Structure 1
């Protein structure tokens, strides 16, 4: 059973599991289907916050639960309560759990000098934020509660990095795709365009799910692509795919003004995770690179932007980054002041 089956990772994960021979029940709030799923996949409606509905769907038992939408400690406790009826689990977590040696992490990034100084690359054994409130802290609570079950419910925790692909609710690539469609041919990039935030293709994450499903165990594994281009390199890739030429104005340091140069990748120090444990424990090999997976993302974003305003098409993006992400007036004013 896959919970959150129609989300960005769930869609390719269901497909990968079904093609690997699993009889898959694809559960989601809307109960929808993906066009690429085999006919044998069973799709059902599920409100995962409804304990009774989840327990009823598990019924007498399932061999595997894959949880794409475990966001609160209550969700972890739901799964733990079903341990006697579930063979094993794969639960998607996040790279947001990591902190540096000074305790800085995603939760401190808005503070002065709050962005962490991580090792390159980050191993799964690295420090994490303490369980508590906040996105990363809640993920850590879920991880610890499930891993503590050991053989009662062997759980593979996948710490996904910056997820990309079709159906993403907060697609970082939107930053460049929308600008190109809007005819913007000059852009400002902080930190000289060298910011690196390790991407994770939904297809590589689905492959990790597939492999972990076949090799149950209690473990934590990073999930990311084999390549990790900088924000400047990503912008150039998207330009090439869309057939446009742009000029990047590079700023040696943080965003120079509010809503100027502050892309979704704008971080002063890199976040790159170590994938060797997945290779060693699962025999994992990536099925794609960021560059190879990018065309379908760009195509999907461009089509969606032609159908509706970005605020309507990506409400979670708007909530996460605000409308200032496309504050062209602020950009133009800053650029004009430079000349």
Structure 2
């Protein structure tokens, strides 16, 4: 059973498990299905906020429960209460649970001197933030804590992806370059010399990790990222190659100047995660590289955007980066 099956990660997870021989029940709020799924995939509606809905859906039990939308300790208790009816589980968390030696994390990035100085790469043994109550990251930490505390109920693999990318994203970072190219912008500016690195996680690689963990049940926490961490400049060049354009790129030595130079990858220090544990424990190898994944992502973004306002299409992205396409500021910067 896959909870959150029609989301960005859920679609390839259902596909990967089906191809591996699992009989899959795809649960989501609307009970929809992806056109690429095998006809044998069963689709059901699930609103987990209804207290007994998940337990009723599991019924007498399932060999594997994959939860892609678990958020907090309450959701963890929903899962662990199914002891005796679930063979094993795979649950998605987030790398945002990590903090550095000074207590800085994703939650402090916007504060003065708040950007975390993580080791490169970050291993799963890195300290994590306090559990519960204040933010998405705190709630994810509480989710992990409650799952692992009840981990003797059945084997639970917790996966921590980073900057998730691929079709059906509510936060498509690649839009920064794709929209500029579609708008025939032939100049752009990247902060930090275009050398920022923020580890990406392709949905198909996350699905591969789910598939491998399903075949090797165990209680563990693993990073769930791609095998490479391209710089912001390398990401732009790869997207340009897919779209067949060659824009001019200028660089700021330091941080963005207002909106100029700001991208979803503009970070002053590298954010890179170690994947050796997944390789060692699951035999993980990425099924797609960042560059190989881009044609699918670019095609989906182009179709989703169409003639619509990007803020209407992707409100979460607009909320986080409201000035992502401030062309007037860029033109003024170039003129100066």
Alignment TM class, shorter chain as reference: over 0.9
What CA distance in whole angstroms lies between the structure 2 residues aligned with 1:304 and 1:54?
32
Is the partner of 1:152 in helix, strand or coil? coil
**1:228-247 alignment, distance < 5 Å:** 228-247=229-248
**1:255-294 alignment, distance < 5 Å:** 255-256=256-257, 258-294=258-294
What CA distance in whole angstroms lies between the structure 1 residues aligned with 2:319 and 2:96?
18
In the alignment, which residue of structure 1 is the partner of 2:159?
A: 158
What CA distance in whole angstroms lies between the structure 1 residues aligned with 2:312 and 2:23?
36
What CA distance in whole angstroms lies between the structure 2 residues aligned with 1:284 and 1:25?
25
In the alignment, which residue of structure 1 is the partner of 2:327?
A: 328
What CA distance in whole angstroms lies between the structure 2 residues aligned with 1:307 and 1:59?
46
In the alignment, which residue of structure 1 is the partner of 2:115?
A: 115
Give 1:87 shift: 1.5
Give yes or no for the alignment of 1:183 onto 2:220: no
In the alignment, which residue of structure 2 is the partner of 1:15?
A: 15
Is the partner of 1:88 in helix, strand or coil? strand
Residues 88 and 154 of structure 1 are in contact (CA less than 8 Å); yes or no, is this contact kept in structure 2?
Answer: yes
Is the partner of 1:333 in helix, strand or coil? helix
Residues 198 and 272 of structure 1 are in contact (CA less than 8 Å); yes or no, is this contact kept in structure 2?
Answer: yes
Structure with the larger helix share: 1
What CA distance in whole angstroms lies between the structure 1 residues aligned with 2:278 and 2:50?
33
TM-score by length of 2: 0.97
* Ranges of 4+ aligned residues in structure 1 off by more than 6 Å: none
In the alignment, which residue of structure 2 is the partner of 1:248?
A: 249
Is the partner of 1:184 in helix, strand or coil? coil
TM-score by length of 1: 0.96
In the alignment, which residue of structure 2 is the partner of 1:27?
A: 27
What CA distance in whole angstroms lies between the structure 2 residues aligned with 1:268 and 1:336?
26
Is the partner of 1:54 in helix, strand or coil? helix
Is the partner of 1:137 in helix, strand or coil? helix
What CA distance in whole angstroms lies between the structure 2 residues aligned with 1:202 and 1:328?
31
Is the partner of 1:163 in helix, strand or coil? strand
In the alignment, which residue of structure 1 is the partner of 2:74?
A: 74
In the alignment, which residue of structure 2 is the partner of 1:60?
A: 60
What CA distance in whole angstroms lies between the structure 2 residues aligned with 1:300 and 1:191?
29
Residues 95 and 160 of structure 1 are in contact (CA less than 8 Å); yes or no, is this contact kept in structure 2?
Answer: yes
> Cα RMSD over matched residues?
1.1
Give 1:307 shift: 5.1
Structure 2 residues not aligned, in runs of 5+: none
